[in-house]
């Protein structure tokens, strides 16, 4: 494509009216070099109407995996970066990506993350998440997962499951090449923890991971998780 850009940032949304404007605004300095695609899952709070005109907005059936795959289908970038609407990229994220992807054996990865609240609890939660990602190569969506577009297509994109799609695409990328955790950090919102309680949320997240490893279905886990934001 004549107007293609090297990196496509795909943002799945559902009722993100209070975050989406700031999300787009923090990407504005990169508008000349990245493509931004918002994929809305049927918001009823006016989220799509708040997106700037220069950003492409499409709709898809609700579900992060389905929405992100829909965005990837129309993306023109050689690199796909999947960004939650409550997560912010570091100012040098493109430099980090370019440096890492200079290694042709690298197929994708994610960024270290930092929860945007002070205090020991959130510091340790961030450290724990980063250590897990470093040691296992399993990345979660709030770490801004990225992949080369050709690799994403080759592995079939995100599996169309209701939860743990980030876990599965991490595994699929590992099967075809090398992945990495970039320094970042991306800053992700603590809203889930603040709304539902720090320890309750931490317990639920670890419970879901454990049950998934034991064979629980994503559909059943989604019932436990709901949309806890």
**Domains in the chain: boundaries:** 7-189
Q: Does domain 7-189 have CATH number 3.90.550.10?
A: yes
Please choose, from the candidates 194, 202, 178, the residue with its C-alpha nearest in 3D space to the C-alpha of residue 126: 202
Q: What is the pLDDT of residue 229?
A: 45
Whether 142 has a pLDDT exceeding 80, the answer reads yes
Q: What is the pLDDT of residue 195?
A: 76
DSSP state of 48: G
47 and 18 Cβ atoms separated by less than 8 Å: no
Instruction: Dig out the tokens for 161 from the structure.
Output: 């499951």
Q: What is the pLDDT of residue 2?
A: 40
Whether 169 has a pLDDT exceeding 80, the answer reads yes
183 vs 210 pLDDT, higher one = 183
User: Could you tell me where the DSSP H helices lie in the chain?
Assistant: 20-27, 64-74, 93-101, 120-136, 149-154, 165-176, 191-196, 198-213, 218-225
Q: Between 165-176 and 64-74, two packed helices, what is the crossing angle to 10 degrees? A: 50
Q: What is the pLDDT of residue 177?
A: 96
pLDDT bucket at 162, cuts 50 / 70 / 90: confident
122 vs 199 pLDDT, higher one = 122
Please choose, from the candidates 114, 83, 88, the residue with its C-alpha nearest in 3D space to the C-alpha of residue 22: 88
**pLDDT 10s digits, 92-104:** 999 999 999 999 9
Please compute the mean of the pLDDT values over residues 118-146 and round it to a whole number. Answer: 94
**pLDDT 10s digits, 41-69:** 999 999 999 998 789 999 999 999 999 99
DSSP state of 226: -
| Mean per-residue pLDDT over the chain, rounded | 90
| SS3 category, 135 | helix
| Distance from C-alpha of 71 to C-alpha of 58, rounded to nearest angstrom | 8
């Amino acid at each position: 494509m004549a107007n293609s850009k090297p990196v496509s940032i795909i943002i799945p949304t559902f009722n993100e009216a209070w975050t989406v404007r700031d999300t787009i605004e923090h990407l504005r300095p990169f508008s000349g070099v990245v493509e931004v695609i918002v994929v809305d899952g049927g918001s009823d709070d006016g989220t799509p109407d708040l997106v700037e005109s220069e950003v492409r907005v499409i709709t898809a059936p609700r579900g992060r995996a389905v929405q992100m795959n829909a965005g990837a289908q129309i993306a023109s970038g050689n690199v796909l970066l999947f960004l939650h609407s409550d997560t912010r990229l570091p100012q040098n994220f493109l430099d980090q990506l370019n440096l890492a992807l200079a290694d042709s054996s690298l197929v994708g990865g994610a960024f270290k993350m930092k929860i945007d609240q002070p205090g020991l609890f959130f510091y340790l939660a961030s450290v724990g998440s980063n250590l897990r990602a470093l040691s296992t190569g399993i990345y979660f969506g709030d770490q801004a997962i990225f992949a080369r577009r050709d690799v994403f297509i080759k592995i079939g994109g995100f599996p169309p499951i209701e939860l743990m799609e980030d876990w599965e695409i991490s595994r699929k990328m590992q099967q075809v090449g090398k992945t990495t955790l970039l320094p970042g950090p991306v800053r992700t919102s603590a809203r889930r923890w603040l709304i539902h309680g720090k320890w309750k949320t931490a317990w639920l997240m670890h419970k879901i991971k454990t049950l998934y490893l034991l064979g629980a279905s994503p559909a059943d886990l989604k019932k436990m998780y709901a949309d806890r934001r």
